[in-house]
């Protein structure tokens, strides 16, 4: 296997007009989110609005990692941390689950050791989607997609038509085409963007951790299902069974693995995802009223909330640095509440 490239300052290249693209993108998303508020009369996340369950458990670092993988969060052999997980659908509206879409998994890891990007905090957030790549893989492309969504907020077929008329239509719609509509606990989930990985640069993913959980992929959502079937599927599994995810890391080993464009797949032949830790979520009720209200309205996951050893990289991640703050604040303001920086997994209500 090729050696991982070092993380140096010049892996990042600020894009021309990037500040303007970020400003326009966030402004557009704020306007869209305000229109969504008017549909529900409740503030929701600008993406990943609909939750399917919240879970509590642990992450344990493997105790035999080679040096290039034993970095940052995964540096201490055998270390165990409490975690909180949220499962959701990518859309910024509360869509019907029978509509295929990317799904998301958010992971908050507690009591991490080392320098954090927000001094004084001790949690590390990781956010994943069900595809290795992000179609609109630069801040400019993400801005263009956001503005198209805004222009056609109430007319999905006009939005699809405008996207399909673009020369990059295939890339922009990647996540709609490639993801099967299956049980949320059977997906693999990916960070899509690049992150620092101690001495190196990497993308991170989580995979179903047992054959039984993998087999849930056979459970496809059909037109006979209920519009909130994903919550029911999660609940029917987690109520009396353990959920396991295998955390894997893909190290950047070649200049052909860009940091600035998250739409380019890093070759898994050249650098496969390698297992670094296990997440175990014991049997539990994932969607009590108390859990849902806390999780939907107060809980927040931020890509820039975590260890400096895993600093987010590339233009979509620089966009996210401002985007999550602005849109997360809009969400809590609309609901006349405040976000919470959890310091213990026990704060997630039963
Ligand atoms: C790079 C790939 C990306 C991944 C894997 C990803 C994943 C996610 C996930 C899993 C969530 C749900 C977080 C939660 O449970 O609270 C989320 C929320 C969100 N994402 Fe992304 N995302 C990506 C890119 C972006 C970009 C480029 C933007 C543009 C600003 C963005 C804006 C947001 C916003 C505003 C929220 C909701 C924040 C809140 O209200 O707390 N995401 N994302």
User: Could you tell me the residue range of the domain that residue 97 belongs to?
Assistant: 9-15+48-138+181-322
Please give the share of the chain, as a percent, with pLDDT higher than 70.
99
Residue 178: pLDDT band (50, 70, 90) is: low
Is 252 inside any structural domain? yes
Q: Ligand 1 center to residue 26 CA distance, Å?
A: 12
Spacing, Cα 131 to ligand 1 middle (Å): 14
Nearest CA to ligand 1 atom 29: 320
Atom 39 of ligand 1: nearest residue by CA position? 328
Closest ligand 1 atom, residue 86 Cα? 15
Q: Taking all residues of the chain, what is their mean pLDDT, rounded to a whole number? A: 96
Tell me the backbone φ, ψ of residue 296, rounded to 5 degrees.
Answer: -80, -40
Q: 158 lies in a domain? A: no
Q: Supply 73's token pair.
A: 């969060």
Ligand 1 centroid to residue 1 C-alpha, Å: 32
In a domain, 283, yes or no: yes
Looking at the domain assignment, is residue 222 inside a domain?
yes
Cβ neighbours for 206, distance < 8 A, ≥ 6 positions apart: 105, 107, 128, 188, 189, 245, 246, 247, 248, 279
Tell me how far the alpha carbon of residue 90 lies from the centroid of ligand 1, in angstroms.
Answer: 8
Q: Is residue 198 part of a domain?
A: yes
**Does 154 map to a domain?**
no
Average pLDDT over residues 59-73: 98
Residue pair 60/297 in contact by the 8 Å Cβ criterion: no
Angle of helix 315-334 versus helix 18-40 axis, rounded to 10: 30
Q: Output the six-digit token pair for 16.
A: 């021309």
| Sheet strands (E) in the chain | 50-61, 80-89, 103-109, 124-129, 189-190, 194-197, 200-208, 243-251, 274-281, 312-313
**Residue 264, domain CATH:** 2.40.180.10
* Average pLDDT for 63-71: 97
CA of 128 to the centre of ligand 1 (A): 9
pLDDT in tens, 321-342: 999 999 999 999 999 999 888 9
Q: Give CA–CA dist 221/110, Å, rounded.
A: 34
CB within 6 Å of ligand 1 — which residues?
45-48, 86, 88, 104, 106, 127-129, 134, 142, 191-193, 262, 300-301, 316, 319-320, 323-324, 327-328, 331
d(CA 312, CA 309): 9
Q: What 3-state DSSP class applies to 208?
A: strand
Measure 47 CA to ligand 1 centroid, in angstroms: 6
Domains of the chain: total: 1
Contact 201, 7 (CB under 8 A): yes
Question: 248-284, pLDDT tens digit by residue?
Answer: 999 999 999 999 999 999 999 999 999 999 999 999 9
Residue at 218 is within a domain: yes
- Burial letters 71-87, b for 16+ CB under 10 A, else e: bbbbbeeebebbbbbbb
39 part of a folded domain: no
């Amino acid at each position: 296997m090729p050696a991982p490239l070092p993380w140096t300052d010049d892996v990042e290249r600020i894009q021309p007009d990037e500040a303007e693209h970020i400003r326009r993108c966030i402004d557009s998303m704020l306007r869209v989110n305000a229109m969504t508020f008017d549909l529900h009369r409740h503030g929701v996340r600008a993406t990943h609005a609909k939750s399917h369950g919240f879970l509590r458990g642990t992450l344990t670092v493997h105790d035999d990692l080679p040096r290039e993988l034993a970095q940052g969060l995964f540096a201490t052999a055998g270390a165990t941390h409490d975690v909180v997980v949220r499962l959701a659908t990518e859309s910024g509206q509360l869509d019907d689950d029978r509509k295929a879409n990317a799904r998301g998994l958010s992971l908050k890891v507690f009591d991490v050791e080392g320098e954090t990007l927000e001094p004084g905090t001790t949690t590390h957030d990781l956010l994943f989607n069900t595809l290795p790549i992000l179609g609109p893989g630069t801040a400019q492309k993400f801005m263009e997609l956001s503005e198209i969504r805004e222009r056609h907020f109430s007319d999905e077929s006009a939005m699809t038509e405008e996207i399909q008329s673009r020369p990059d239509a295939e890339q922009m719609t990647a996540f709609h085409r490639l993801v099967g509509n299956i049980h949320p606990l059977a997906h693999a989930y990916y960070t899509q963007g690049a992150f620092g990985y101690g001495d190196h640069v990497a993308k991170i993913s989580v995979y179903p951790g047992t054959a039984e959980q993998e087999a849930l992929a056979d459970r496809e959502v059909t037109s006979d299902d209920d519009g909130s079937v994903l919550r029911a599927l999660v609940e029917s599994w987690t109520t009396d069974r353990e959920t396991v995810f295998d955390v894997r890391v893909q190290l950047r080993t070649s200049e052909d693995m860009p940091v600035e464009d998250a739409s380019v797949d890093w070759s898994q032949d050249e650098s496969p995802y390698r297992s670094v830790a296990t997440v175990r979520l014991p049997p539990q009720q994932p969607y009590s009223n108390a859990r849902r209200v806390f999780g939907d309205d107060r809980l927040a996951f931020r890509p820039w909330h975590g260890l400096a050893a895993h600093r987010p990289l590339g233009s979509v991640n620089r966009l996210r640095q401002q985007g999550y703050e602005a849109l997360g604040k809009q969400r809590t303001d609309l609901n006349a509440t405040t976000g919470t920086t959890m310091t213990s997994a026990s704060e997630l209500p039963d």
